[in-house]
Chains A and B, each alone.
Chain A
């Protein structure tokens, strides 16, 4: 396997997992929670480092996962007990947790092998250098990690498809047929935390958000059907990963940044030129309509 392939393959796996959870988050209108969680997991990761003294993945995932849930829970708490608007509650919680994370990093910078750059850019370029052997196979560590997470996400979406769909489109009906929206909300949030954290290492904190939000948003401009939405979102995520790698390589820039540039470009193209709702089409229609109204009776 070439290094190029290994990096792109990892990126595609991350993008697929992000696109799947991102679609449901968009439908549940909780996309900004991804931004909140991706910042708020920082202290969890740092504490896991400090407690175990290693870059072991499992404690890191657990620490960050717990922080992710804590963010969700605290936001709910501020909303219900503190009567704060949802967006303000989120803004208060995640900025605080992020600040704590940065303070921890600077206090224990000698013990913590984690710098601020890693938080921002991710280290997907180093994927091929870090190998790990399981089941007799020696593969990049990121393969095991993101592959495992991707399998879990696919299983979650596959098994809970009906419930997730109902919770997203018609929560009231979901409750009436005995589906606990609360349980599914927290289940989804747990998976989101997991995806965010496991992607964190490879693409960085904020770019996870781009991978979670941009593909479903682009897909939403093209279709309303959930199955298509998921499919197109995954396709866009994958395509951006591949193209993004080459863009980054060409300009000698961060791969995660390159992927985001492509994601943004794809959104812009669809936003302008989508067949039904594209800005250009609608603009032309808007200009043509009066004429066609005049023209039609003569037919």
Chain B
């Protein structure tokens, strides 16, 4: 393993060099370009174009009789362009939903391609072998001049992306705004589509029709989890694409018989899954943790407020049992026990032999939350003319959201009220702890 890994990393074999360079370049280009199409909500356009180039390839072969990749590429380019033109014309002139138009052009063009391909095969033109490459891709057979071609096309695609970065960014994020300020959305859409056709045409020879579509979607979707900034997203998607290209090339190098293209796709999907779960902020885990944290905070605030109310009812009482708390307010018993354990650990309350006592920190927090609750009740009753018996439920929710700034505003607006609509006193004095 080590030796093979080294062979691979150091690119000791010429063939490996081409395959790695080709797939990495392809992944980079597709990832960066895909960032725009994914944001533009045209993720499957790449899939359609990739299928639609087939008839062009076949016709180019039938007319010229050669399988010179450059001539086939021209055919593919024309066919892909024609397909996007058809999609546009049909879309503008019928009531068909966009996905139907996409699927229609994709499948019909591809079907015509299959028709022509089988015609060629039956007619016994011996040189047809090269055409299959366009369907499933053959990264393993990549040669020096393929890599040069990838480099050229990839380079020019990226160059154009950078030149037109700002307009493309605008139409990707907010096409409606773009056109409302007199921007030619159509032109830049056409530019994006042209780039897509060019990148796909060269790419499918290496990884095949379906898997080219994956390279245009998956790295970009993965990158979206890590950033809000399009420029960062672009580079990240490019890096993910390149990394998957490298990993796929390695897998097919290490296990003979494993096709490169599908391995690249599996690698990029793995990167996607990792991003989806573990990305900070937008990832599933991060969102779940945030959700849990908010839940815990609300629970903590509710328990402390309940303790405060118990204390308010019987001021001499300092020690509260689980039983007292659940009498006052319903909590799910296990959740209450858990929450109290956390409160003890975090220094809000102290556990004594037969119950719980406020610590300074908990006392202040309890006062704060009770105050917010009652201030909001006053505000609803006085300024929004809520009936007194309707304010409680709303305040239950708002007390957890009110920021210090809002609290200050409330206090000023209400002129530091002393009692809530139910005549309970509003506590202001944080320091007057009774317990510790």
Contact = CB atoms under 8 A, between A and B. Distances in A.
Interface majority SS (helix, strand, loop, mixed), chain A: helix
Given A81-B284, A98-B210, A106-B257, A217 B104 contact: yes
Given A103-B259, A209-B103, A253-B116, A92 B272 contact: yes
Interface of A: 26, 29-32, 34-35, 39, 78, 81-85, 87-92, 94-96, 98-100, 102-103, 106-107, 109, 116, 120-121, 204, 206-207, 209-210, 212-214, 216-217, 220-221, 248, 251-254, 256-261, 263-264, 267, 271, 277, 279, 282
A253 B120 CA distance: 8
Given A31-B99, A35-B106, A210-B107, A121 B94 contact: no
Contacts of B276: 78, 81-82, 84
B111 A210 contact: yes
Interface of B: 38, 41-44, 46-47, 51, 90, 93-97, 99-104, 106-119, 122-123, 135-136, 210-211, 213-214, 216-218, 220-221, 224, 257-259, 261-263, 265-266, 269, 272, 276, 282, 284
A258 B114 CA distance: 9
Contacts of A267: 104, 108
A89 B43 CA distance: 9
Contacts of B94: 220-221, 271, 277
A98 B264 CA distance: 12
Contact of A35 (B107, B111, B122): B107
Contact of B119 (A26, A30, A252): A252
Contacts of A282: 93
Given A204-B114, A209-B107, A91 B43 contact: yes
B227 to A, nearest CB: 14
A30 B99 contact: yes
A221 B109 CA distance: 20
A221 B99 CA distance: 15
B262 to A, nearest CB: 4
A29 B117 CA distance: 31
Contact of A88 (B135, B210, B221, B257): B221
Contact of B136 (A91, A102, A109, A264): A102
Contacts of B90: 271
A71 to B, nearest CB: 13
A103 B266 contact: yes
B42 A87 contact: yes
Contacts of A82: 276, 284
B118 A253 contact: yes
Given A84-B221, A267-B104, A91 B44 contact: yes
Contacts of B106: 35, 206, 209
Interface centre among A26, A81, A90, A254 (most CB of B within 10 A): A254
B100 A264 contact: no
Contact of B118 (A32, A90, A257): A257
A176 to B, nearest CB: 24
Given A248-B115, A271-B94, A96 B266 contact: yes
